[in-house]
């Protein structure tokens, strides 16, 4: 997180005086338009630098803020309260004015229209045609999921790149991306013991256990550290981003290392469950249950800043468990 925050702060804290930076940045951004962005619903053209941005996709508002753009409306995809900005957002990147909060799965279309947006971001969302048609019916560019994208599975790189292009902030996005990648490189280099070890990244809800499959940020996170996705879990992958683990198949949670998140249950519901405790990796101490809600949110966020924050907070937990 230190590396990435340093990059973000450097973007706004160095060089020309503030007024000059703002003017220069505006001129440079204006020169990038119009821009055309490929989406699942065809190419979308943003004719000029947006002034009133509505961010509806999971993490879209956070990414816009990271790049120095303040949405006038947003969806709160994390239960963080307030204006929906997570704690890992640097103070100088937070909202200067609380945006209109527009719902999550069910968007308040009247409220969106009342904001008179000139750009709608929906890059990590359901990708349903009906949702896109409602939003595009407002007559403004809608940047939806990528071509061949899947519901809620836009990776952080595509999300960052698409939003940056729509906002005229591609140079800033390159710096942010480099910071995230550097944080992973340093963590992997510091822990060569992770390399080649199998992992299961799972969760428990009120109903059942589950394990994540390739194509989501959670598995990417572990792979960037050197881990390998459990072949047993991956063999069961379908169209969803996870597979259900029945009480009779708790063996599927076994690997060299197991990382679990509680969803709608307490961490103790996992750590104290006899079925979970019977998994060999858990018995050996090679497991972590994310008990801190902030850390669990960062790990699940799949955003640039969230991933970097999770590297800072989660990697030490993994290293300690792997040393057992």
8 Å CB contact between 73 and 50: no
Distance CA 107, CA 321 (A): 41
Q: Which tokens go with 218?
A: 């959670």
Residue 234 lies in a domain: yes
Same domain, 101 and 153: yes
Residue 32 lies in a domain: yes
DSSP 107-127: --HHHHHHT--SEEE-SSS--
8 Å CB contact between 208 and 185: no
Q: Which tokens go with 24?
A: 């220069």
pLDDT at 140: 97
pLDDT at 197: 98
Residue 214 lies in a domain: yes
Same domain, 162 and 221: no
Same domain, 112 and 138: yes
Residue 22 lies in a domain: no
228-278 tens-digit pLDDT: 999 999 999 988 889 999 999 999 999 999 999 999 999 999 999 999 999
Domain-ending residue, one of 130, 148, 180: 180
Same domain, 170 and 48: yes
Residue 134 lies in a domain: yes
Residue 111 lies in a domain: yes
Residue 158 lies in a domain: yes
Q: What is the CATH number of the domain that holds 195?
A: 3.40.50.1980
Domain-ending residue, one of 138, 159, 180: 180
113 contacts: CB under 8 Å, gap ≥ 6: 138
Same domain, 197 and 159: no
Same domain, 153 and 205: no
Q: Which tokens go with 34?
A: 């119009």
DSSP 200-269: EEEEE-SS-EEEE-TTSHHHHHHHHTT-EE-HHHHTT--SSSEEEE-GGGGGGG-SSEEEEEESSS-HHH
Q: What is the pLDDT along the chain (324 residues), one digit of tens a residue?
A: 333 333 332 333 333 333 333 333 444 555 679 999 999 999 999 999 999 999 999 999 999 999 999 999 998 776 566 677 888 999 999 999 999 999 877 888 999 999 999 999 999 999 999 999 999 999 999 999 999 999 999 999 999 999 999 999 999 999 999 999 999 999 999 999 999 999 999 999 998 999 999 989 999 999 999 999 999 999 999 888 899 999 999 999 999 999 999 999 999 999 999 999 999 999 999 999 999 999 999 999 999 999 999 999 999 999 999 998
Residue 102 lies in a domain: yes
Same domain, 199 and 256: yes
CA 248, distance to chain mean position in Å, is 32
Domain-ending residue, one of 157, 180, 203: 180
Neighbours of 277 (CB within 10 A): 12
pLDDT at 57: 94
Same domain, 6 and 88: yes
Same domain, 160 and 36: yes
Same domain, 9 and 129: yes
Measured CA distances, 311 to 73, 84, 191, 215, 295 (Å): 29, 21, 12, 19, 10
Same domain, 6 and 52: yes
The pTM assigned to this predicted structure is 0.86
Domain with 37 in it: 2-14+27-180
Distance CA 271, CA 141 (A): 46
Same domain, 39 and 175: yes
Residue of 130, 109, 27, 112 lying closest to 73 (CA atoms)? 112
Residue of 280, 149, 285, 304 lying closest to 220 (CA atoms)? 304
Count structural domains, the chain: 2
């Amino acid at each position: 997180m230190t590396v990435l925050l340093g990059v973000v702060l450097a973007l706004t804290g160095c060089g020309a005086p503030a007024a000059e930076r703002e003017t220069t940045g505006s001129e440079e951004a204006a020169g990038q338009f119009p821009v055309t962005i490929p989406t699942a619903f065809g190419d979308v053209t943003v004719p000029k630098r947006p002034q009133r941005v509505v961010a509806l996709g999971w993490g879209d508002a956070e990414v816009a803020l990271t790049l120095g753009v303040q949405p006038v409306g947003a969806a709160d995809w994390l239960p963080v309260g307030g204006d929906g900005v997570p704690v890992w957002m640097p103070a100088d990147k937070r909202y200067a004015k609380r945006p209109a909060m527009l719902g999550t799965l069910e968007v308040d279309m009247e409220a969106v229209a009342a904001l008179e947006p000139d750009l709608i971001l929906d890059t990590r969302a359901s990708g349903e045609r009906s949702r896109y048609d409602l939003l595009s019916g407002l007559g403004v560019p809608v940047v939806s999921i990528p071509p061949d994208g899947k519901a809620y599975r836009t990776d952080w790189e595509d999300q960052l790149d698409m939003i940056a292009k729509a906002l005229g902030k591609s140079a800033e996005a390159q710096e942010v991306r480099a910071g995230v990648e550097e944080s992973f490189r340093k963590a992997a280099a510091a822990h060569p013991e992770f390399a080649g070890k199998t992992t299961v990244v799972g969760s428990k809800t009120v109903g059942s256990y589950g394990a994540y499959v390739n194509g989501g940020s959670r598995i990417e996170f572990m792979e960037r550290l050197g881990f390998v996705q459990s072949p047993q879990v991956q063999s069961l992958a379908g169209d969803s981003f996870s597979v259900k683990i029945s009480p009779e198949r708790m063996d599927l949670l076994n690997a060299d290392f197991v990382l679990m998140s509680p969803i709608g249950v307490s961490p103790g519901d996992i750590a104290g469950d006899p079925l979970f405790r019977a998994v060999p990796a858990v018995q050996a101490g090679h497991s972590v249950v994310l008990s801190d809600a902030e850390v669990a949110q960062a790990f699940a966020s799949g955003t640039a800043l969230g991933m970097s924050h999770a590297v800072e907070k989660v990697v030490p937990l993994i290293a300690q468990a792997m040393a057992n």
